[in-house]
Every structure is written in C-alpha cells, then in structure tokens.
Amino acid sequence: MCVLTVVYFNLVDHYRPIGRELLQNASFDAGLSGWSASANVSRNQLQRIDLSNGHVADGHSIFQVVPRPASGLVRLTATARTSDVAVGPKVWQVARIQVLGRVDGGPWEWDFDGALLKAVGTMIMQDESMIITIPEKYDALRIECGLIGGTGTFVVEQVSLLAVEKRQGVVYIGMVLICLWVLFGFVCLYACLERKMYSLLLILFNVAVLLLLIPEVQKRELLQYLACQLPVMSVFPIDHVVLFFIVTLVIQWLYLKPGSQSFLTSIITLLVFSLVSECLQYYTSHREPSGLDASANIFAILLASCLYFCLNWRKHSQANHLSG
C-alpha cells in the first residue's frame, strides 16, 4: 500500500488539460509580445526575460490578464532561475511567479494559494509546476513574474497556464486507496486490542499525532531554532532519529525478548509503521512526505534494536554464567 500511495501521488497525473494554452507567447519566442511590463524592463529580449533588480526602490515585472476558466482549476508551469536574490523591505518582496484574482474590475487579490515561486538566494534553471484552485468569485486572473523591492538576478525562460480538470478514473482510484488505508487502520487497531497491547497503541497514536497533525510550519520553526544550537539538524532530521530511537527502545523493553520471534516481528512492524507514517502525509494539507525522514526513521529503529539486543544479550550471558 505504501508503494501504491507513492506511485499514485508521484507518478500518476491527476489532471488533464482542457483546451489550449491560456497565455500568449508563453515561451517568449516573440519577446514580450502579449505581455505587459514595468517601464524598466527591456522589451528587446527573446526567449529569456531578465527581471533582475539592483535596488530596493525599483522593481521589474511582467504580467498577462486572462479570463477565469470555467473549471476553476489551472496548471501554472514556469522555467526560471535566480542568483543572489535578497528579500526587500517587505517579506513578500522576493522573486515571484504567481496568479492573482480580480472581481468585476476591482483590485487584484491573492487570498488563495497562487504562488508558484517565492525564491530567495540562488536557484539553477529549473521547471516548476503546480495546480491552482481559483475561487469562484474571481472572473479574471493576472499571471505575474517579477522581482519588486528585492534585489538580485531573476531570469524567466517560459511561463505556461492551462485550464485542467480532474481525471475521474484517478479520483475513483484515490477513493479506493483511502478505503484500503482505513481498513488497514481498523485491522491494526483490532490486533492491538485483541492482544491487550494498550500501551503500544497509545505510543503509536502519539507518534502518529506528532508526524501527521503538527503543521510543517511549526515543525520548521522549531527545527530552525534547534539547527542554531545543533548545526547537524540543518542537513539531517535528528528529530526523527530521536523520536523513533526512543519509541523503539520503549516498545521492545516493555514487550519483547531479544532473539525471539517477537523481537524480529517488532522490528518489521516498526519499520512498516515508519513508512506508513510518511506515506499518510500525502493526505494532509500541512505536511509533505520525505525520503530523508523515512531513512532517518529506519536508521533509528535499527540502531535502537541493535542496542537493545546487545544490552540484553550481555545481561542474559552474565545471568547464565552465574547460574552455571
């Protein structure tokens, strides 16, 4: 099921395009034809548009206005790079590619998640893509690329906007997958209750809460603080290592004997749980699964299991020696 979930969310295209490209001159083959631009953007550019900005009082941007598609869903795709981009006086003043909405000719608003790119620092030329849900109240969209207030190099190679709709077959597959996960949860719950492993159930429930319900923003803020105290946390998820190391030791100390079949079963069960907890993050709006986090979970489980086995093997060896 973990493999099916990863394939479903990473390899299956959930949307199909409707109609043609919504933007004129999306690849800038005709320069800035079809695009509006701020006064300090040179119109003598082809294929790549340089929106670099050297002063916080200036800004370079281009945009197009298109009607809102009836489906209310669009796929925004862009190819861009940045170099040494610094934030301007306001936090939103970075290299941006975004969609804004307007109601009946009113002011442009961004009260929905329409930002494809919000970049600082350096980023090599790469493709970015996202599906954006447009609220029904808007009748027009503004697709904008720019570096206003911030400073640095910002180059855009192409911007594309397509109206899309969900593939019904993929939706049905997703519903079946959710039902399978729910069934899996009930089976695990029944197994724990049947074996009267109430403390195990409580431990795993608390771990699931930590991994699934705490918003990524809160986790990131905590890790940024901890990274200042322990620099290694900026490159490796030590929090996952500590969490699964402690959980593994507690569970094995409470229930198991080293070298027994149940000891090996516990390792397999914890490994499965660590992968499942990452895959279930596909279904949350505030967390994202991570291969690095999964690797840290597995490393911690194996490390704790080896430590537990060694400590108990030594303990039993000493006991056998005394009894002999």
Please state, in angstroms and rounded to a whole number, the distance separating the CA atoms of residues 123 and 87. 15
pLDDT at 140: 94
User: What three-state secondary structure class fits 291?
Assistant: helix
Amino acid at 14: H
Query: Quick check: 238 pLDDT over 90?
Result: no
Query: Quick check: 254 pLDDT over 70?
Result: yes
Exposed, middle or buried by CB within 10 Å (0-12, 13-18, 19+), for 318? exposed
> Could you tell me which of 324, 318, 304, 206 has the C-alpha nearest to residue 256?
304
Q: Is 215 part of a structural domain of the chain?
A: yes
Query: Quick check: 225 pLDDT over 80?
Result: no
Which phi and psi (to 5°) does residue 251 adopt? -65, -45
Query: Quick check: 222 pLDDT over 80?
Result: no
Same domain for 68 and 156? yes
pLDDT at 217: 54
Strand partners, 78: 128, 159
Same domain for 143 and 21? yes
Could you list the residue range(s) of the whole structural domain that residue 235 is in?
195-323
Same domain for 106 and 231? no
**What is the length of the chain?**
324
Kindly list the distances between the CA atom of residue 183 and the CA atoms of 48, 177, 189, 204, 267, in Å, as whole numbers in the listed order. Answer: 51, 10, 10, 17, 22
Same domain for 153 and 205? no
For β-strands 115-119 and 59-67, DSSP reports them as unpaired
Q: How many domains does the chain have?
A: 2
Of the listed ranges 9-13, 28-32, 99-103, the one predicted with least confidence: 9-13
User: What three-state secondary structure class fits 29?
Assistant: coil
Q: Is 289 part of a structural domain of the chain?
A: yes
Q: What is the CATH number of the domain that holds 70?
A: 2.60.120.260
Model pTM above 0.75:
no
Q: pLDDT tens digits, residue range 273-296?
A: 888 888 888 887 667 788 888 888
Same domain for 162 and 48? yes
Query: Quick check: 177 pLDDT over 90?
Result: no
pLDDT category at 268 given cuts 50, 70, 90 is: confident
Query: What average pLDDT score do residues 135-163 get?
Result: 92
Q: To 5 degrees, how large is the angle CA 30–CA 36–CA 42?
A: 65
pLDDT at 142: 94
Q: pLDDT tens digits, residue range 30-74?
A: 989 999 998 888 888 888 999 988 887 788 999 999 999 998 999
Same domain for 131 and 240? no
Q: Is 154 part of a structural domain of the chain?
A: yes
Same domain for 220 and 114? no
The overall average pLDDT reported for the chain is 82
Query: Quick check: 76 pLDDT over 90?
Result: yes
Kindly list the distances between the CA atom of residue 321 and the CA atoms of 55, 309, 312, 316, 318, in Å, as whole numbers in the listed order. Answer: 78, 18, 14, 8, 5
